[in-house]
Structure 1
């Protein structure tokens, strides 16, 4: 991609600059009066977000993250689409679909009256996607950088038949110390425990993490909160369009075996994912669309 042309078409004076980043891909550097952010066109994901009044970044990115074609970037806000988890049809297709492993396009950038900046990225079906998933579609991610970080994943069905999707905004949040971190708002829900063979269990009280956690929570409320005592902050997660949420931390053994995580990475992040997962399957009608949205706010 021609960076000069991208800056001419989509750069915003004082707010958005397109530059070459790690891996040689274009990145959008956003800086306004409210916050700064870094957005990768590869994967269509946010890699950094920091409000002007925050002491630490909202997002975690692994020091060992891969920046290679065909590999997902470990951190930020990866997008799982059009399926979450293993190939639902068992055809050997990639885990979590193909959206996080491809180069997206800039659709538009806009300076909003509120002082925030909106960036819209997207891509549509092509020969390589139709080999994996035989539908005509347009997928967009709306990224709004302001005092909060807002994401909206919009799936448009351009075909003459409905299709089913599962999906996730698989966000990695920076925490000071995982042993001093809890997730609030899940009390009274049930979850599918993927570490324990998919057993369904009840959640009682706040979720504290002291071992590997990989859970699909069902019938979740619209707001969840990460209580990060080590950094003396809360991260408020407000979502629409989902009935499920995933909480994941790999803990020591998985971190040590993962090439794109350092051995101690698990101590410094938790994933609280806004999802349509498990039985929370979305049917997008022919010529219709579906919107999965979330807003992240940092509070002391």
Structure 2
């Protein structure tokens, strides 16, 4: 469908508007009393979210991001599925799976009684996906735009054999200055340090960033993770369900400069705190069954 057809079928006044975004990719603009948001149908990716009470955007998107088929958009909240990280089977398949660089289908749009906007995107297996990953599936992403941003990803196994996935919401949270940013809620949690040959370590105190960081935190509890953004005098509260791991990532200067879709100084402006099923935290799905991964993001001004 083109933007005009999408608006006719799924548009809701000025609150939900479909248009052509960068690179000609379809986007959904949400504007209600509670928040503004921008969602790319390509990748099923929230690119912007700003509650009415917030002074700054929640999410970072690189000025050098690619907006073209086959490329992932650097920023927002990419969906990593049906695997997280590199292709462990060594088949040359893309890192973080294939759904972050594929077009999704618009399933529905609605206003809730509380005034939130709810958008449902979906995808099912095709001959093309089965050539990459042989499983039959139905994937659904429910995005709720209110004074918080809520994401719920449902994976249904529509095949006759069990399947196993790893997955993630990979948000790039915008911060005023990474050097004045910390993350709490992971104290005393063991993690795999991917920068140091996958050594296992224990987190002592809050997470701070002063070099490249790529960590898979294991057996995370049910408590919220909180990003403390001192430069912008705010907190970002992350509440999640369906995961037992969390990832903290920042490429720092050298890796940031080496990425063609990231500016040399961009590492100072974001932190990724990801809701994941990663490493040994895998989701096993019997036939005709489903699993859900949920994350809620809330900005709290100090």
TM bracket, shorter-chain basis: over 0.9
- Tell me how far 1:15 sits from its aligned partner: 1.1
CA distance in 2, matches of 1:287, 1:90: 28
- Tell me how far 1:91 sits from its aligned partner: 1.2
CA distance in 2, matches of 1:231, 1:3: 36
Give the number of aligned pairs: 300
- 1:259 equivalent in structure 2: 260
- 1:275 equivalent in structure 2: 276
- Tell me how far 1:14 sits from its aligned partner: 3.0
Superposed CA deviations along residues 1-31 of structure 1, whole A, max 9, x for unmatched, are: 3211110110011310000000101100001
- 1:80 equivalent in structure 2: 80
CA distance in 1, matches of 2:11, 2:258: 40
CA distance in 2, matches of 1:236, 1:181: 13
CA distance in 2, matches of 1:2, 1:24: 10
Question: Unaligned stretches of 5+ in structure 1?
Answer: none
- 2:105 equivalent in structure 1: 105
Superposed CA deviations along residues 75-131 of structure 1, whole A, max 9, x for unmatched, are: 000000000011121111111110001011100001001111000101100011000
Superposed CA deviations along residues 190-227 of structure 1, whole A, max 9, x for unmatched, are: 00000001000000100010000000001112310000
TM-score between both structures, scaled by the size of structure 1: 0.99
- 1:46 equivalent in structure 2: 46
TM-score between both structures, scaled by the size of structure 2: 0.98
- 1:5 equivalent in structure 2: 5
The yes-or-no answer on 1:230 pairing with 2:231 is: yes
RMSD: 0.6
- Tell me how far 1:140 sits from its aligned partner: 1.0
SS in 2 for 1:266: helix
Superposed CA deviations along residues 16-58 of structure 1, whole A, max 9, x for unmatched, are: 0000000101100001110000000110000000001111000
- Tell me how far 1:135 sits from its aligned partner: 1.1
SS in 2 for 1:66: coil
- Tell me how far 1:179 sits from its aligned partner: 0.4
CA distance in 2, matches of 1:270, 1:107: 31
CA distance in 1, matches of 2:290, 2:183: 31
CA distance in 2, matches of 1:114, 1:174: 27
Superposed CA deviations along residues 150-193 of structure 1, whole A, max 9, x for unmatched, are: 00111011001110000000000000000000000000100000
Superposed CA deviations along residues 239-295 of structure 1, whole A, max 9, x for unmatched, are: 000000000000000010000000000000000000000000110110000000000
CA distance in 2, matches of 1:151, 1:5: 25
